[in-house]
Amino acid sequence: MRTLIANGTVVTADGSWPADVLVDGETIAQLGADLAANGVTADQTIDASGKYVIPGAIDVHTHMELPFGGTFAKDTFETGTRAAAFGGTTTIVDFAVQSKGHSLREGLDAWNAKAEGNACVDYGFHMIMSDVTDESLAEMDQLVAEGIPDFKLFTAYPGVFYSDDAAIFRAMRRTRDNGGLIMMHAENGPAIDIVAADLVAQGKTDPYYHGVARYPVFEGEATNRVIRLAEAADVPVYIVHLSVIDALEAIREARDRGAMAYAETCPQYLFLSLDDLGNGFDGSKFVCSPPLREKNPNWEELWSGLKKNDLQVVSTDHCPFDFHGQKELGRGDFRKIPNGLPGVEDRVDLLHHGGVVGGKISKERWVEIIATEPAKLFGMYPRKGAIAVGADADLVVYDPNRKRTISAGSHHMDVDYSCYEGWEVQGGSDVVLSRGAVVVQDGEFRGRKGHGRFLKRGPAEYARMG
Ligand code: DUC
Ligand code: ZN
Ligand code: ZN
pLDDT in tens, the chain (466 residues): 999 999 999 999 999 999 999 999 999 999 999 999 999 999 999 999 999 999 999 999 999 999 999 999 999 999 999 999 999 999 999 999 999 999 999 999 999 999 999 999 999 999 999 999 999 999 999 999 999 999 999 999 999 999 999 999 999 999 999 999 999 999 999 999 999 999 999 999 999 999 999 999 999 999 999 999 999 999 999 999 999 999 999 999 999 999 999 999 999 999 999 999 998 999 999 999 999 999 999 999 999 999 999 999 999 999 999 999 999 999 999 999 999 999 999 999 999 999 999 999 999 999 999 999 999 999 999 999 999 999 999 999 999 999 999 999 999 999 999 999 999 999 999 999 999 999 999 999 999 999 999 999 999 999 998 6
Q: Are the C-beta atoms of residues 378 and 372 closer than 8 Å to each other?
A: no
Q: Whole-angstrom Cα distance, residue 114 to residue 410?
A: 25
Ligand 1 site, residue 152, Cβ cutoff 6 A: no
Nearest residue (CA) to ligand 1, atom 4: 340
Enumerate the β-bridge partners of residue 183. 152, 238
* Residues 6+ away with beta carbon under 8 Å from 458: 147, 149, 379, 380
CA nearest neighbour of 121 among 466, 463, 449, 462: 449
Taking the CA of 315 as reference, the closest ligand is 3
Nearest residue (CA) to ligand 1, atom 1: 289
Q: What is the three-class DSSP state of 70?
A: coil
Q: Measured from the CA of 341, which atom of ligand 1 is nearest?
A: 3
Ligand 1 site, residue 288, Cβ cutoff 6 A: yes
Ligand 1 site, residue 343, Cβ cutoff 6 A: no
Q: Are the C-beta atoms of residues 85 and 432 closer than 8 Å to each other?
A: yes
Query: Among the residues of 183-215, which ranges form H helices?
Result: 189-201, 208-213
Q: Name the pTM for this structure.
A: 0.98
Q: Are the C-beta atoms of residues 89 and 56 closer than 8 Å to each other?
A: yes
Q: At what angle do helices 165-178 and 216-233 cross, to 10 degrees?
A: 40
**CB half-sphere exposure, 118, CA atoms < 13 A:** 15
Q: Whole-angstrom Cα distance, residue 276 to residue 256?
A: 34
What are the φ and ψ backbone dihedral angles of 84, each rounded to 5 degrees?
-55, -45
Cα 25-31-32 angle, rounded to 5 deg: 145
Nearest residue (CA) to ligand 1, atom 8: 289
Enumerate the β-bridge partners of residue 281. none
Ligand 1 site, residue 339, Cβ cutoff 6 A: yes
Ligand 1 site, residue 63, Cβ cutoff 6 A: yes
Ligand 3 (ion): which residues have CB within 5 A? Answer: 317
Residue 338 C-alpha to ligand 3 middle, in angstroms?
12
Burial of 43 (0-12, 13-18, 19+ CB in 10 A): exposed
Ligand 1 site, residue 210, Cβ cutoff 6 A: no
Query: Among the residues of 323-459, which ranges form H helices?
Result: 347-351, 363-367, 373-377
CA-CA-CA-CA dihedral for 410, 11, 299, 311, to nearest 10:
120
Ligand 1 site, residue 243, Cβ cutoff 6 A: no
CA nearest neighbour of 64 among 45, 44, 78, 50: 78
Distance, first Cα to last Cα, the chain = 39
Which of 153, 288, 316, 415 most suits a substitution to test ligand 1, by most atoms within 8 Å of the C-beta? Answer: 288
Q: What is the three-class DSSP state of 407?
A: coil
Dmax (CA) of the chain = 75
